[in-house]
Amino acid sequence: MIAPLLVVAVLLVPVAGVFAAADAALNSVSRARVDALAREGQPGARALAKVVADRPRHVNLLLLLRLAAETTATVLATVAFVQIFGSVWEGALVAAAVMVVVSYVFIGVGPRTLGRQHPYRIGMLLAVLVRTLATVLGPLTRLLIVIGNALT
């Protein structure tokens, strides 16, 4: 039972990293440059222009997806480490230490740096995926935004 937990946790880390890179890229691109790339016919630029036209919606979605992947990976790693160590405290502390480092390097710093260094390339590469996810998960994200706004 431990191996599948760790495999899924390990697979979720790069997924969260992709969402973090896309978020950083979307927050780094200019609408004018994206529109120019779309006029030039760059692959993915038209989709990126549509994403940038509704940037807050897509950035909120990417935040939700990154948090879901990162949190799920952390929970799965914690369950696995508790089983490995046979102690809730030891397993939880090891999982926390491991996942803080993994999250910082492989979800936080690395992907975000790439997203800021290559925002147009990453944005155009991921724009269709982001738009598709926004369409599929749109009702959920709208509901969560309404709840969040009600609390603030």
Domain residue limits, the chain: 2-146
In this prediction, residue 149 has a pLDDT band, given cuts at 50, 70 and 90, of: confident
Mean pLDDT of 58-71: 96
Asked if residue 106 lies in contact with residue 17, where contact means CB atoms within 8 angstroms, the answer is yes
- Rounded to two decimals, the pTM is 0.92
What average pLDDT does the chain have?
96
In this prediction, residue 145 has a pLDDT band, given cuts at 50, 70 and 90, of: confident
**pLDDT tens digits along 15-50:** 999 999 999 999 999 999 999 999 999 999 999 999
Cα(149)–Cα(152) distance, integer angstroms: 5
